[in-house]
Amino acid sequence: MLYFARWKVTLIWAVCALGVLLSLPNVFSPSFLAALPSWLPRKQVALGLDLRGGSYLLLKVDIAAAQRDRLNSTIDNVRNALRGANIGYTGLNVEGDAIVFTIREPDRIDDARRALGKIDPDLTLDIASDGSGTMRYSAVATQARRRQAVDQSIEIIRRRIDETGTKEPAIQREGSDRILVQLPGVDNPEHVKALLGRTAKLTFQLVDTSVSLEDARRGRLPPGSEILPAEEGQGGRSGAPAYVVHRRVMVGGDTLVDAQPTFENNQPVVSFRFDSVGAKRFADATRENVGKPFAIVLDNKVISAPVIREPIVGGSGIISGSFTVQSASDLALLLRAGALPAPITILEERTVGPDLGVDSIHAGATASIVAVALVIVFMVLFYGLFGVFADIALIFNLCLMLGSLSLLGATLTLPGIAGIALTMGMAVDANVLIYERIREEVRAGRTMLSALDAGFKRAFGTILDSHVTTLVAGGLMFWLGSGPVKGFAVTLSIGVLTSLFSAILVTRLLIVTWVRQWKPRTLPI
């Protein structure tokens, strides 16, 4: 116990020095750190929403809408399969969570089963003897689609927020269909909400010129067409309040690779570029429909409906409308980030002002300083010189905690500050166990060196057990908790590991160094 190899001493002091070095940037302002050489550490502990101020949004993904879109896109495959097999049908439509239809000739039901069974293995097909049939996705496929929709929504929301320049956002799943978004430092939450709330589903569809809008509204809407409203202030500039468009999508926005705001004739527009697959589809669609109007549709609203003058084969184009500079930039951002797989709604919104965050930091810092000061005084009063050793280890423990949080890029919340204050007490608790054990060994008549050795060895098992159980609790809170609970779990878990290092190794090294240098006959404890 009283022997430390030279490499161990070097390693312990190197770890302590590294902790101090990594924690120092938190003392200085960002402007001061920016002026330092690039090789010096400059990472600071990120402040959470409750400390820095910002916006808190709880979003819900409309899984049912995603399922309907999937079924609607499958209808074309069903129609093509039946037509390809020369099977007559009627009533092909989406009802609830299923595609319904009726086979006109009951003697061709088996042929319909074979034709439709090739569409998608995840679809379950049921055709009654009278020819009425339903197709719906299996429970396993539906659940997988639910997870995929939420995961994809999280990724797209993250891209959109990153495009706005927001630093250190927290985006995570809540339950099966909800997403928690925390945006520290956001001073314009309404703009962010507007960006997140738009699905940004872009499609290019042909305008149905076989019927007028008035006739379509009177019930003469052709099969395979739909009425879409014009975007207010944009598509409406052509004078049409709505358009009759074919449901079939010529080209989808999922093939876009870039979109940028620009100017044409001194008017803000959005230029876009397709990938190779999208460019080919766009070229084929425009080549086959020269002279016909086509609608640029965003979130089921027509932005504009220009006439195709000539084939567009370059894989790029321009979306024009009554854009402002800001709306053109927002649309380009949404198109770059991609469309949400389903609409989202805002269930809960909270905004924390920066003043409240400053007050929280001040209160939390004051509480932590008072807690550390009281612990330091307590240890000195009860254990004298050994209490000073424990206090020195406590300071290193605090530096190691802050350094670890800075290095990992962890976000510090108000519960996280509480976790730091709690860890400070736990750190000296290990020293208390060791010192009380040493006192018992001295009272039992052991020599000074024997008492020191027995005190550290016999207290180690108890200390390890308490720290491991606390670490398990912290791990469970991080795994099952969210938001502030996770912040508390992170600081608590890191504090448990650093306090184990400081209480067992740093304190012991200080005591061993003191014994070797001063060679005391009795222990001042």
Q: What is the pLDDT of residue 238?
A: 47
Distance between CA atoms of residues 478 and 494, nearest Å: 12
Has residue 491 been placed in a domain?
yes
Find the domain containing 115 and state its range.
63-142
Q: Are residues 368 and 509 in the same domain?
A: yes
Q: Are residues 45 and 79 in the same domain?
A: no
Count structural domains, the chain: 3
Closest CA to 350 of 211, 159, 193: 193
Q: Are residues 44 and 125 in the same domain?
A: no
Has residue 161 been placed in a domain?
no
Within 13 Å and on the Cβ side, how many CA atoms surround 210?
Answer: 11
Has residue 249 been placed in a domain?
yes
Tokens 């090294």 sit at which residue? 509
Q: Are residues 217 and 251 in the same domain?
A: yes
Q: What is the pLDDT of residue 237?
A: 42
Q: Are residues 479 and 442 in the same domain?
A: yes
Closest CA to 197 of 41, 325, 11, 346: 346
Has residue 503 been placed in a domain?
yes
Q: Are residues 227 and 365 in the same domain?
A: no
Q: What is the 3-state secondary structure (H, E, C) of 33-72?
A: HHCCCCCCCCCCCEECHHHHCEEEEEEEECHHHHHHHHHH
CB burial of 29-60 (b: ≥16 within 10 Å; e: otherwise) equals: eeeebeeeeeeebbebbbbbbbbbbbbbbbbb
Q: Are residues 306 and 402 in the same domain?
A: no
Has residue 76 been placed in a domain?
yes
Q: What is the pLDDT of residue 235?
A: 41
Distance between CA atoms of residues 238 and 226, nearest Å: 19
Q: What is the pLDDT of residue 374?
A: 87
Q: Are residues 81 and 123 in the same domain?
A: yes
Q: Are residues 31 and 71 in the same domain?
A: no
Q: Are residues 387 and 489 in the same domain?
A: yes
Q: Where are the alpha helices (DSSP H) in 242-324?
A: 276-288
Q: How far is CA 287 from CA 192, 205, 311, in A?
A: 39, 14, 4
Which amino acid, 49? L
Has residue 333 been placed in a domain?
no
Q: Note the pTM of the prediction, 2 decimals.
A: 0.61
Has residue 43 been placed in a domain?
yes
- Asked if 224 contacts 248 with a C-beta cutoff of 8 angstroms, the reply is yes
For residue 502, give the DSSP letter. Answer: I
pLDDT along the chain (525 residues), means of 10: 80 93 86 80 79 82 83 82 88 86 89 87 87 89 85 85 74 85 76 77 88 86 86 54 87 83 87 86 88 87 85 82 82 80 83 67 77 88 92 92 86 80 82 90 87 88 89 88 77 89 90 87 79
Has residue 119 been placed in a domain?
yes
Q: What is the 3-state secondary structure (H, E, C) of 80-126?
A: HHHHHCCCCEEEEEEECCEEEEEECCHHHHHHHHHHHCCCCCCEEEE
Beta bridge partners, 101, equal 133
Q: How far is CA 462 from CA 195, 394, 431, 510, 525, in A?
A: 54, 19, 12, 21, 21
Indicate which CATH number applies to the domain containing 227. 3.30.1360.200
Q: Are residues 289 and 364 in the same domain?
A: no
Q: Are residues 92 and 24 in the same domain?
A: no
Indicate which CATH number applies to the domain containing 491. 1.20.1640.10
Indicate which CATH number applies to the domain containing 113. 3.30.1240.20
